[in-house]
Amino acid sequence: MTVKKQTSKTIVPFVLLLLSSLLVSCTAFSGLAWPPDAKAKDRKESVTDTIPRIKELECRDIFEQARKEQWDSIKVADFGQPYVNSYPNTLADSIIEYAKLFLGTPYAAAGKGPNRFDCSGFTAFVFRHFGYELRATSKGQLDDGWKVVTRPDELRCGDLVFFGGRSKTREIGHVGIVVSNDPVRHSFTFIHASVRLGVTISGSTESYYYPRYITACRVLPE
């Protein structure tokens, strides 16, 4: 009789502890799965909404992985070189691109920019942007070059070109920056601040400039 009482005393606390643990686990699971006060209808709708969401996320993962694999398989060579001519790749190119930003800017005597220019004010303004200080006059800027270029077919982009004034004298009265050169035709184009058009691009073969061309100089390093 004594043994039975001792066994009963031992088993009862164990059973109570086990039931308590099961109750806590069920409550916790219930709290994670559904709101405590949710009705059966609400639980059914939650399940219905969750399944499509899981499928959506699975599809998104599949597409994302496919996109990544496709991108990783693309070679740079497949794109070619689409931007080779889109950006300047030399100092001279950069100077010309910067000068073109002011196309159409009006002419003004002694204008130093950026809203109005005369010819030497324009060339000085452009070159100053790249760290080159040129003299204030077109005639003086010839001395800013480290090399005089006598032949038009030897001109390079960024060279300064000099012309006589409006009276067709051989004295320097105008200056511009070479944009392009055609050695075969012995001609070139240049950007400059003209009295009539403001900042514009002209050609050396134009009737006004052809007889007035005098010489050129190179400011930029080779």
Q: Map out the domains of the chain with their CATH numbers.
A: 2-73 (no CATH), 91-218 (3.90.1720.10)
Q: CA 74, CA 79: separation in Å to the nearest integer? A: 9
Whether the predicted pLDDT of 139 surpasses 50: yes
What is the pLDDT, as a whole number, of residue 59? 59
Residue-averaged pLDDT of the chain: 77
What is the pLDDT, as a whole number, of residue 152? 86
What is the pLDDT, as a whole number, of residue 62? 60
Per-residue pLDDT, averaged over 127-143, amounts to 97
pLDDT confidence tier of residue 89, bands split at 50, 70 and 90 = confident
What is the pLDDT, as a whole number, of residue 49? 57
Instruction: State which amino acid sits at residue 92.
Output: A
Q: CA 193, CA 162: separation in Å to the nearest integer? A: 13
Tens of pLDDT along 5-42?
Answer: 444 445 545 545 555 555 444 444 444 444 445 455 55
What is the pLDDT, as a whole number, of residue 65? 61
3-state SS, 116-169, equals CECHHHHHHHHHHCCCCCCCCCHHHHHHHCCEEECCHHHCCCCCEEEEECCCCC
Q: Which residues pair with 198 in a beta bridge?
A: 194
What is the pLDDT, as a whole number, of residue 32? 43
Q: Which residue has the higher pLDDT, 178 or 87?
A: 178
Interacting residues of 161 by C-beta distance below 8 A, sequence separation 6+: 155, 175, 176, 177, 178, 188, 190, 204, 213, 215, 216
Helical residues (DSSP H) of the chain, grouped into ranges: 2-33, 40-73, 91-100, 119-128, 138-141
The model carries a pTM of 0.61
Q: Which residues pair with 199 in a beta bridge?
A: 193
What is the pLDDT, as a whole number, of residue 135? 97
Whether the predicted pLDDT of 142 surpasses 80: yes
Q: Is the backbone of residue 14 left (phi > 0), alpha (psi -120 to 50) or beta? A: alpha
